[in-house]
Amino acid sequence: MVYYGFAFFCLATIANAAVSPKSLNSDISIVIHNDLLEAESPLSGSGILVLDARPWQEATESCQKLGGTLWGTESSYRDIRNGLDYLVFQGKYTRSQRFWTASDHRKLSTIDTNGRVNKASAKEKLPVLCTQSAPLSNSTFQDISAQWQVTVHSNDEYLTGFRDRFSFRFLGIRYAKKPRRWDYAKSYRGTGKKASALNYGSDCTQGTTGSEDCLFLNVWTPYLPKSNKVRKSYLKPVMLWIHGGAFIGGTGSDPTFDGSNLASRGDVVVVTINYRVGTLGFLALDDGKTNGNYGLADQTTALEWVRRNIQDFGGDPDRVTIFGQSAGAASVRALLASPVAQDKFAGAIMQSNLGGLAYGTTFSKYYTIAQEMDVVGNAILNETKCTDAASPVECLRKLPASTIANLADSARYLVVDGVYLQISELDLTNPASTANVPLMIGMMRDDDAAILGYPRVGETLKSFLNESDLPDSVVPSQLFPVPSTANATLDIFNTSSRIATDAIFRCINKATAHTGSRNHIFPDIFYYEFNRSYQMPSWSPNAPVCNAPITDEFPNGDPSQEYFKCHSGELFYVFGSFRRQGLPFRDELDLPFGQYVLDSWASFARVARPTPDLAFLKARGYYNTTREIEANGPWESFRKESQLRLLQWPSGMRDLDELEQCRALKLPLNYFDS
């Protein structure tokens, strides 16, 4: 996953007296029917803010402090019915609960969860419905005016974030002190002062951008408790995202990963993090002290911050799911293996984890420090003329960070350092060596088609495979036939991308699921393959092969036709972020499919399975996902070779494919048993 920079247009700076749950003496919940349609949604005005019980006058004043008013009874009960139904489903209120609403003809009014309007005495203490009029935000605009700001006391800091239409947003929260280069980061503790969480922190140094002071995280939440004594059942599951970028780039601030829709529709707390990348994040030297894995250690430090503090943002520290894509999935895999991290999360999702052959090998199999020195460490010391220095690491520390980040070689490798990683790969034969948590794992159907180079005109299949470090022994073969069309170069690409996808993605992921299930390493495993994608316009190296074909009827692409379903093509669906970035729906299925995918990922975080509870879906009014499950069944766990969820519209369980091809590549289902 490659990151391209962007900028927010901000309208205000931190206010002196932002409202807080403590100042209101109330939990604050944003309840809205989020259908992912953003501005054009007929339900975008259905949002309400829910506050704890209080007398009418205090209720009125509390809504005003939040920049709104009491929700008006002249508004449509139909718009908020699903929100009230969900409050009942959660067990927070009974079906007959009354809430303060705006006065009706000078009479104090309430509404109950059935929509009945009643009168009440001003002295009664009732929970409150306030208008939620905060504006929508998107990838280029956010309104951080004082009226939308909110302060939370956490980690001995008074952190001021803000809310938009769908969630509370706390951006650029420091989780670790600025680290000394090639030292492990130390957790950050506040000093009792105010701190802004209105804008993202700096990215970690990469290319010509970023900073070494970059260990920040971001939080999106639909719920803020008034104190840390909140009832456990009110806390939301947490989803901590680890970005990809081949361990040389990326950021938790990428707008693709904006957590607002996932938090709102999924009813979860979303956290995204930065971690050090490239040589600045992963260099290991054979000096006995520069042991590598600094970026992985940063991820662990961020997890520790979440465990200590996420309850202040409405999250349950005992229900943290780590999820990541590409190098982020490799990070999840390493954290499953890491004795330092294993007790810090309750679930894991690996999206397009790499391994197997060619460049993918080192994402799942880790070098020793001596091997890393041979592969890249010595080259870095030679290029920087630090080889003969009394202390090579001190020599490197004297160089500008941008110089290190732009060397010809990058130390992007996870290594066996003896602390964060003690073995060369995830052990799928010994349950005691691996985090015992539910696992989701899967890939895009044609994952490597976005990464593999494109053949030159006139090049042969064998020569192109050799150049790509892929085995040519499997061709020509009935297992990997070469199409015969008028475009011979595309024919070669078609076959080679299939081989590369099997060799680097599909075989390693299937073998992980198979051996992990057979040896009872994980309580449950759910395996998937995307057969529908929406490629990121900012990252599509082999364009247009990863894009749905454009026709007169479908000017934005026709997903019903055949095209490559490529690396990163699931991200807009998982985060529900296509409309936030102004991207069009290509057909009438993009929206329900996106709803189903987001609902499945959030369900895994909530209940450790990707099939949402039908009662949950009914309460929230998520009818497209309800119909999909009723028509095509639940997502079954991986207990035999047929348990793959093919993610398309409609979705369904399918047999595993490419088994013979993986055997030919010497990456069979039992690969990890040997």
The whole-number average pLDDT for the span 118-128 is: 93
Q: Mean pLDDT lowest for which of 27-36, 110-119, 176-185?
A: 110-119
488, pLDDT greater than 90: yes
Cα gap 560→578, rounded to integer Å = 19
Per-domain boundaries in the chain: 26-31+48-131, 146-406, 501-665
Q: Would you state the structure tokens that stand for residue 617, as one six-digit string?
A: 């879906």
Across 5-9, 203-207, 236-240, least confident range: 5-9
pLDDT at residue 7, rounded to an integer: 39
Neighbours of 291 (CB within 10 A): 22
Distance of CA 403 to the CA centre of its chain: 30
Q: Can you tell me the distance from the alpha carbon of 390 to that of 396, in angstroms, rounded to the nearest whole number?
A: 11
- Residue the block writes with tokens 């299925």: 589
Burial class, 463, CB count within 10 angstroms (exposed 0-12 / middle 13-18 / buried 19+): middle
Structure-derived torsion over alpha carbons of residues 409, 359, 532, 586, reported in degrees to the nearest 10: 30
**For residue 544, is the peptide bond before it cis, meaning its omega torsion is within 30 degrees of 0?**
yes
How remote is the C-alpha of 275 from its chain's centroid? Answer: 14
Each residue's pLDDT tens digit, 391-433: 999 999 999 999 999 999 999 999 999 999 999 999 999 999 9
Spatial neighbors of 102 by CB under 8 A, at least 6 apart, are 69, 70, 71, 72, 73, 74, 109
Mean pLDDT of the chain: 94
Q: How far apart are CA 527 and CA 519, in angstroms?
A: 16
Residues 359-384, mean pLDDT to the nearest whole number: 98
User: What tokens appear for 86 in the block?
Assistant: 């969900």
Q: How far apart are CA 418 and CA 433, in angstroms?
A: 14
**C-alpha separations of 320 from 269, 308, 316, 577, 669 in Å:** 9, 12, 7, 22, 29
**Residues making up the chain, counted from first to last:** 674
- The confidence band for 74, taking pLDDT boundaries of 50, 70 and 90, is low
Q: According to the model, what pLDDT value does residue 73 have?
A: 63
Instruction: Name the pTM for this structure.
Output: 0.96
Which residues fall within 8 angstroms of residue 147, CB to CB, at 6 or more apart? 67
- What is the per-residue pLDDT for 641? 59
Q: Cα–Cα distance between 598 and 589 in angstroms, integer? A: 14
Q: With contact defined as beta carbons under 8 Å apart, do 440 and 605 qualify?
A: no
DSSP letter for 72, please. Answer: P
Each residue of 32-73: pLDDT tens digit? 999 998 878 888 778 999 999 999 999 999 999 999 999 986
Of 588, 594, 635, nearest to 612 (Cα)?
A: 635
pLDDT tens figures, 565-615: 999 999 999 999 999 999 999 999 999 999 999 999 999 999 999 999 999
Instruction: Specify the range with the lowest mean pLDDT, choosing from 31-35, 45-49, 266-270, 358-362.
Output: 45-49
With a cut of 50, say whether residue 14 has pLDDT above it. Answer: no
Over range 353-381, report the average pLDDT. Answer: 98
- Measured torsion, CA atoms of residues 185, 189, 195, 200, in degrees rounded to the nearest 10: 30
Nearest-angstrom CA–CA distance, 246 and 277: 9
Q: How far apart are CA 244 and CA 352, in angstroms?
A: 10
Nearest C-alpha neighbor of 1 from the set 541, 402, 366? 541
For the beta carbon of residue 145, count every other beta carbon within 10 angstroms: 16
Contact indicator for 506, 664 with CB cutoff of 8 Å: no
- Model confidence at 176: pLDDT above 80: yes
Give the pLDDT confidence score for residue 640 in this predicted structure.
Answer: 62
- Residue 484 has a CB neighbour count (10 Å cut-off) of 7
Phi, psi of 624 (to 5 degrees): -65, -45
- The class that CATH gives domain 146-406 is alpha beta
Pick from 187-191, 397-401, 622-626, 637-641: least confident:
637-641
Q: Could you give the angle at which helices 623-632 and 590-607 cross, rounded to 10 degrees? A: 80
pLDDT reported for residue 107? 82
Separation between Cα atoms, residue 257 and residue 254, nearest integer Å: 6
Q: d(Cα 126, Cα 483) in Å, to the nearest integer?
A: 69
The order of strands in the sheet holding 28-31 is 117-119, 107-112, 98-104, 126-131, 48-54, 28-31, 223-224
Kindly tell me if the per-residue pLDDT of 12 is higher than 60.
Answer: no
Superfamily of 26-31+48-131 according to CATH: Mannose-Binding Protein A, subunit A (3.10.100.10)
- Name the residue among 175, 177, 226, 227 with its Cα closest to residue 197: 175
The per-residue pLDDT for 228 is 84
**What radius of gyration do the chain's Cα atoms show?**
26
Instruction: State how far the alpha carbon of 64 is from the alpha carbons of 71, 99, 574, in Å.
Output: 11, 16, 35
| Mean pLDDT, rounded, for 147-154 | 97
d(CA 338, CA 323): 15
Question: In the predicted model, is pLDDT for residue 642 greater than 70?
Answer: no
Q: What percent of the chain has pLDDT over 70?
A: 96
DSSP secondary-structure letter at 24? H
**Cα gap 6→197, rounded to integer Å:** 18
CA distance 190 to 212: 20
- Between 126-130, 482-486, 585-589, the lowest mean confidence (pLDDT) is in 482-486
Q: Are 258 and 139 in contact (CB under 8 A)?
A: yes
SS3 295: helix
The span from the first CA to the last CA of the chain, in angstroms, equals 31
How far apart are the C-alpha atoms of 331 and 345, rounded to whole Å?
13
